[in-house]
Amino acid sequence: MRYSFGGDEHIFVEVDESMSLEAFFKALFITNAVRDKAIDGVTEICPANASFQIKYDPDKISPDDMLAELKSLEASAASAPSVIETRIFEFPVYYQDPWTHETLMRFRDRHQDPNASDLEYAARINNKASVQAFIDAHAGAPWFVSMVGFVSGLPFLYQMVDRPRQLEVPKYLRPRTDTPKLTVGYGGCFTAIYSVRGAGGYQMFGITPVPIYDPKSEVDYISDDTMCLFRPGDIVKFKSVDRAHYDHVTEQVAAGRFAPKMKPVTFSLDDFNADIDGYNKKLEGVLDA
């Protein structure tokens, strides 16, 4: 692990140079340990994909003492249990929707392939025979929420397949100034759901009708305490839906009669690594139970 100071109030810790579930679990263990230890002076704990950052009050704990606390936790992280109690969600996605398509066409001058849509480009560079084959791969396996942030409520999701099958798509050459709210985007090895409308650089594949960020406390299934649906460690299974299904869910959301399908689940990293496809089927079975 690499440690670096950010001014006199932050320590940034890089767990690994590349994202993996092993790196995520190590970061999660240490950040949870910092929280549980209630170290005097710690004011914020910010877990990320394969790293984390700690903010502290240097008048209460010196930078060197804070660093020593974190290094002491690193040793115990190597033997930490790889099992967490979490949640699995089913999330409908309207792929190739008209709203993200209209947006992406306005920004073709910022894209690697101005003559193709984002999905067409993604399918080609991932050696998929068609756009539908790429969509099937995107929706075919669960995704692990490794971080929530950058924009309030926005989840970064890591595909739960072995590395040779992971989809990879670069970000736009230059960011857009507009992205529809609840766009399902992709950059590097991460899918993201844009919690609000705004600028963005991820490829746009579709849109979900399900709100994930609720600053006005209008959505019953989102906690008023966090205002955000997702938290690190959650698992998401995307479901490809058509326009009629999208419109139906949108109407249900507006009427306050919708909540995404969600079930509690125990996730074991060791069992997942032993049989990735079989374990994913078990997770999906939890949703159908």
Q: How many domains does the chain have?
A: 2
- Give me the residue label for tokens 């999660």: 28
pLDDT, one tens digit per residue, over 82-100 is 899 999 999 999 999 999 9
The answer to whether 171 touches 201, Cβ cutoff 8 Å, is yes
First-to-final CA distance of the chain = 40
In sequence order, the β-bridge partners of residue 145 are 157
Q: For the chain, what percent of residues have pLDDT higher than 90? A: 87
Which range marks the domain in which residue 17 is found?
A: 2-80
> What is the CA angle 194-200-202, rounded to 5?
80
Q: What is the CATH number of the domain that holds 205?
A: 2.40.100.10
Q: Is there a single domain that holds both residue 76 and residue 89? A: no
Beta strands in the chain (DSSP E): 2-6, 10-14, 42-47, 51-56, 83-95, 143-148, 155-159, 183-187, 190-193, 203-207, 235-240, 261-268
Q: What is the CATH number of the domain that holds 51?
A: 3.30.1360.40
Neighbours of 100 (CB within 10 A): 26
Low-confidence stretches of the chain (pLDDT < 50) are none
* Amino acid (one-letter) located at 260: P
pLDDT, one tens digit per residue, over 171-182 is 999 999 999 999
CA 151 centroid distance within chain: 12
Q: 30, 57, 80 — which closes off a domain? A: 80
In sequence order, the β-bridge partners of residue 176 are 200
Looking at the whole model, is its pTM more than 0.85? yes
